[in-house]
Amino acid sequence: MAAVFLLVGALGIGVLLLSLFAGEIGEFGHPDADGPFSVPAIAALLGGVGFGGAAASAVLPEALPDAVTVLLALAVGLAVAVPLAWGAVRLSRALKDMPTQETLTRHHLIGAQGVVISAVPCPGFGEVRLSLAGQQLKFAARSDVPLPTGTPVYVVDALSDTAVEVVSTAPDLPHPLPEPGGDHP
């Protein structure tokens, strides 16, 4: 008798795994289905009835008639299955309605601030590290004026997904910074 309940429980796990890895199962579940008739709820019901019933039938005395053992095991299985199905519905609803942020695009780069990590020559590209969405990201950078390493910058244009045009946000210095390895005035 416990073997039948174990098979029902295994069927519930199989339905759940199949729906997770292969998507919805034919017409069995609709992607927008929610509540007690969703695939996770049905899988939890089957698993709860099967494994709860198997556990109950294993601990019930063997002196009981088979019909009474089946009814008691089924009652225990349902008592286990209903909270499992409720939890599956709540969990799938929470995952489905979870707020997410939009994917960052090159248009999100405009207005970002950062620092020059490889000097930016006037007729070419250097590198900047930008703070964007809480992350430090490296981009190729172009500027109208040469920018030495360490200069704080502000992005004024996104040239591509990997290149930006920047302006310095550093206060004007009375003397330009010396080139690395050059003579100091």
Q: How far apart are CA 129 and CA 150, in angstroms?
A: 10
* Chain mean position to CA 20: 15
Sign of the CA dihedral with 31 first, then 34, 35, and 37 last: negative
Q: How would CATH label the architecture of 106-168?
A: Beta Barrel (2.40)
How high is the pLDDT of residue 138?
A: 95
Residues in the chain with pLDDT values less than 70: 22-37, 172-185
Domain ranges for the chain, please list them. 2-96, 106-168
How high is the pLDDT of residue 183?
A: 55
How high is the pLDDT of residue 174?
A: 47
Cβ neighbour number for residue 15 with a 10 Å cutoff: 21
CB-based contact 139:116 (threshold 8 Å): no
Query: Which tokens in the block code for residue 10?
Result: 């295994």
